[in-house]
Amino acid sequence: MVNSPLEPPEPITPNWRWITRHPVYFIAFGLGTGLSPKAPGTVGTLLGYPLYFALATPFIGLSDASIIIALILAFVIGVFICDITGKALGIADHSGIVWDEIVAMALVLYCIPDGLNWWISGFIAFRFFDIFKPWPIHFFDQRWQNGFGVMFDDLLAAGYAILLVRGIGWMIA
């Protein structure tokens, strides 16, 4: 049955077949991690580690400026891929869209000290702020229902996580 123009379209339930129909969907869904039946944002966040390590590895030899430019580029690309995917799904910030978490986690890792304990702390802090969305994260999450809003609220959560982890580092130094 065809929906009338007044009825909302039937929601799409993304699956592997759907996300592989278009490269933009596949990237937005974190190479499939966004399909996780439990905590897709948390699972997707884990891809921030290989992104960061790929950028920061001495083998590649990127300067700090190049890493920052790469993260800005990933953010800008994310605005478009999250917007396109959200529109295709009919939900601007679908829980399976995890590119925002991936980029934000890579930023957190870039801005905190190196070391396993710091990396775990950064992950926990970022997930906390991304899930609970303290002010102004919640405000922008609700205000901007588009690709920019999807990316921006995670950028703010990353900023809070960075401040918390760096603050802890400063207190214990």
Structure tokens at 54: 């790929």
Q: Report yes or no: 64 and 117 within 8 Å, Cβ to Cβ.
A: no
* Average pLDDT of the chain, as a whole number: 91
Q: Report yes or no: 106 and 51 within 8 Å, Cβ to Cβ.
A: yes
Does residue 85 or residue 58 have the better pLDDT? 85
Give this prediction's pTM: 0.90
126-156, pLDDT tens digit by residue? Answer: 999 999 998 998 888 788 888 999 999 999 9
Of the candidates 88, 164, 57, 77, which has an alpha carbon nearest to the alpha carbon of residue 121?
164
How large is the average pLDDT for residues 21-38? 96
| pLDDT at 93 (0 to 100) | 87
